[in-house]
Amino acid sequence: MRKFAKFLIWTAIIVGAIIGIARLTAIRWWTVPQNDPLLGASITPSVSPGDTILLWRLSAPGFGDLVLCPDPTDPNEVVIGRIVGESNDTIRVQGQDIWVNGSPMRTERACTDRTFKTEDPNSGNQVEQFCDEEDLGGHLHMRGNITAGRSQSSQLITEQKVAEGKVFLVSDNRLYPFDSRRFGQVDRATCKETVFFRLTGANGFSDVKHRLTFIH
């Protein structure tokens, strides 16, 4: 019994040390705030308010990655967006569609769950949207489509060249964007963390659908 107890103690110490080292060097976990309606809407359907996610910090994020960066307008806040443009790229965003250096990014297929609901950050009402999967240089990820009756959003056009040392971020939810169209291009050096895994959803570990899932 003593040997088994000693084994458990040493196992706990070793596991704790591994987790501690990993947290200092490679990963950290973070819970998406539920009191920031615009941020919360902009990251759906890939991530949702209340999710506890893992952030990869050991290597620099690249094109197509979903990243967490300091807000360029307020360093005490954060933004989450997908890198769609790097130094000297020409980016065009029209509604839900993206062109990089003149090439359109492809839409592959509808998501497994074809629709999802998002809280409108202005009214607080639940809005149903369509979900499809977009291919960004081999990164297949979910995208919140603009719904019927929102044609005005689809006419908004942004086109610009990405400056040296900058990245252009676009929100996965194209109806409620909180990205470089709002706060400008972001210093690449400040975007050090890639969103890659969800530990639990807002309802905790009992939410089977949203726990222990990779985020692309």
CATH code of the domain covering residue 51: 2.10.109.10
- Residue 10 and residue 71 in one domain: no
Are 106 and 209 in a shared domain?
yes
Helix (H) or strand (E) holding 8: helix 2-25
For residues 156 and 112, state if they share a domain. Answer: yes
pLDDT band at 106 (very low <50, low <70, confident <90, very high): confident
pLDDT value at residue 209 = 83
Q: Provide the pLDDT for residue 154.
A: 46
Structural domain tally of the chain?
Answer: 2
Whether residues 161 and 207 share a domain: the answer is yes
Tell which wins on pLDDT, 3 or 89: 89
pLDDT at 2: 52
- Average pLDDT for the chain: 86
Residue 20 above 50 pLDDT?
Answer: no
Same domain, 1 and 41: no
- CA 84 – CA 151 distance, rounded (Å): 23
Of the candidate ranges 55-59, 94-98, 123-127, 188-192, the one whose mean pLDDT is the lowest: 94-98
One domain for residues 96 and 1: no
Give 1's pLDDT tier (boundaries 50, 70, 90). low
Same domain? 12 vs 40:
no
Using CA atoms, how far apart are residues 170 and 92, in angstroms rounded to an integer? Answer: 11
pTM of this structure:
0.85
CA 205 from centroid of its chain's CA atoms = 21
Verify that 81 and 3 share a domain, yes or no: no
Same domain for 41 and 9: no
For 161, the domain range is: 32-214
B/e letters for 62-101, b = 16+ CB within 10 Å, e = fewer, are ebbbbbbbbebeeeeebbbbbbbbbeebebbbebbebebe
Give the C-alpha separation, 136 to 172, whole Å: 12
> Does residue 99 sit in the same domain as residue 205?
yes
Per-residue pLDDT at 16: 39
Q: Average of pLDDT values for 56-64?
A: 94
Contact 98, 170 (CB under 8 A): yes
Statement: residue 206 has pLDDT above 70: yes
Same-domain check for residues 4 and 83: no
Residue 126: predicted pLDDT: 93
Q: Say if residue 22 is in the same domain as residue 50.
A: no
